[in-house]
């Protein structure tokens, strides 16, 4: 398999990408550093995004028309909702947008015109900032940055029941991903003892809740982490990989590649 990490290349190799007739799509894994229950790592969102990007790059390794390389990931996000717990690292919307726009501006300036954000942190203000950043890049450079918005209903219905119920922060859905990719980071004994927490985060947010404690997530999770399995994680990875590959091909073809805003809008 060819090199899949952009930052592992040497500069002549980067120039070869730019000169090649085979299109290069740069995947940017986006996550957060925040509490994911007492059982899962702070890096859960980023682990999921990384795992999707690796699987996409592997699937496209021998594709004659398009390749995917993975950019250094973004580990910091808007994380106000988890702020009552130790380990939540928050950046404001302006800082996040400046980083997103600045990195994309640099890459576009070198000639990379196919960039796709792979995000798995769904705090509303974070998702809104991603969309605003994509809008700003398109307005400045006439370049469309790709984005898979899992808050859209047509995306969510392809994922697990827990995800569709919006009970998925560090629950069965997210913990299964980590078990599939980095199982050593899950405290399985703790996870097995955690009770089911039936908090629909989308409904709680719509009703005005702005932090995990207010939502009833006393240990920074909802759903059922005790039911997580590596097998379910691999199944979910397969679904997300297919979605991203579809966007990659649409981005290169000029027929799409960016989901319009879903549940949280662009405000």
* Span 234-265, pLDDT tens digits: 999 999 999 999 999 999 999 999 998 876 65
Q: Is residue 33 part of a domain?
A: yes
- Report yes or no on 146 lying in a domain: yes
Reported as a single tens digit per residue, the pLDDT across 14-32 is: 999 999 999 999 999 999 9
Residues in Cβ contact with 161 at an 8 Å cutoff, skipping those fewer than 6 apart: none
> What is the domain extent for residue 153?
6-159+237-253
- Name which of 235, 245, 233, 111 is nearest 177 in CA terms: 233
Within a domain: 174:
no
Alpha-carbon distance of 118 to 239, in angstroms, equals 14
Residue 222 falls within a domain, yes or no?
no
Residue 165 lies in a domain: no
Chain position carrying tokens 């120039």: 15
Cross-strand bridge partners of residue 119: 30
- Which tokens belong to 118? 């792979």
Q: Is 114 contained in some domain?
A: yes
Tokens 């990490």, residue? Answer: 5
Residues in a beta bridge with 26: 69, 115
Encoded tokens for 116: 């796709």
Which pTM does this prediction carry? 0.96
Domain count, the chain: 1
Residue 22 lies in a domain: yes
pLDDT in tens, the chain (267 residues): 789 999 999 999 999 999 999 999 999 999 999 999 999 999 999 999 999 999 999 999 999 999 999 999 999 999 999 999 999 999 999 999 999 999 999 999 999 999 999 999 999 999 999 999 999 999 999 999 999 999 999 999 999 999 999 999 999 999 999 999 999 999 999 999 999 999 999 999 999 999 999 999 999 999 999 999 999 999 999 999 999 999 999 999 999 999 988 766 543
CATH number for position 96: 3.40.50.10310
Residue 216 lies in a domain: no
């Amino acid at each position: 398999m060819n090199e899949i990490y952009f930052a592992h290349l040497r500069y002549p190799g980067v120039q070869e990408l730019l000169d090649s007739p085979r299109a290069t799509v740069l995947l940017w894994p986006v996550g957060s550093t925040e509490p994911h229950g007492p059982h899962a790592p702070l890096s859960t969102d980023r682990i999921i995004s990384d795992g999707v990007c690796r699987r996409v790059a592997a699937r496209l390794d021998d594709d004659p028309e398009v390749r995917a390389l993975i950019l250094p990931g973004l580990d910091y996000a808007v994380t106000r909702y988890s702020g009552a717990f130790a380990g939540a690292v928050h950046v404001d919307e302006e800082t996040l947008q400046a980083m997103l726009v600045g990195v994309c501006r640099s890459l576009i300036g070198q000639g990379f015109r196919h960039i796709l954000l792979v995000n798995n942190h769904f705090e509303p203000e974070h998702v809104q900032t991603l969309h605003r950043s994509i809008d700003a890049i398109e307005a400045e450079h006439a370049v469309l940055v790709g984005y898979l918005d899992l808050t859209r209903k047509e995306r969510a219905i392809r994922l697990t029941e827990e995800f569709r119920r919006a009970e998925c922060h560090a629950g069965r859905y997210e913990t299964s991903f980590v078990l599939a990719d980095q199982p050593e980071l899950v405290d399985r004994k703790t996870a097995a003892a955690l009770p089911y927490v039936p908090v629909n985060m989308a409904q709680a947010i719509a009703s005005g809740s702005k932090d995990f404690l207010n939502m009833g997530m006393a240990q920074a999770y909802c759903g059922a982490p005790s039911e997580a399995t590596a097998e379910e994680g691999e199944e979910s990875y397969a679904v997300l990989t297919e979605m991203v590959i579809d966007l990659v091909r649409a981005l290169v073809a000029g027929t799409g590649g960016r989901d319009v805003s879903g549940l949280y809008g662009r405000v």
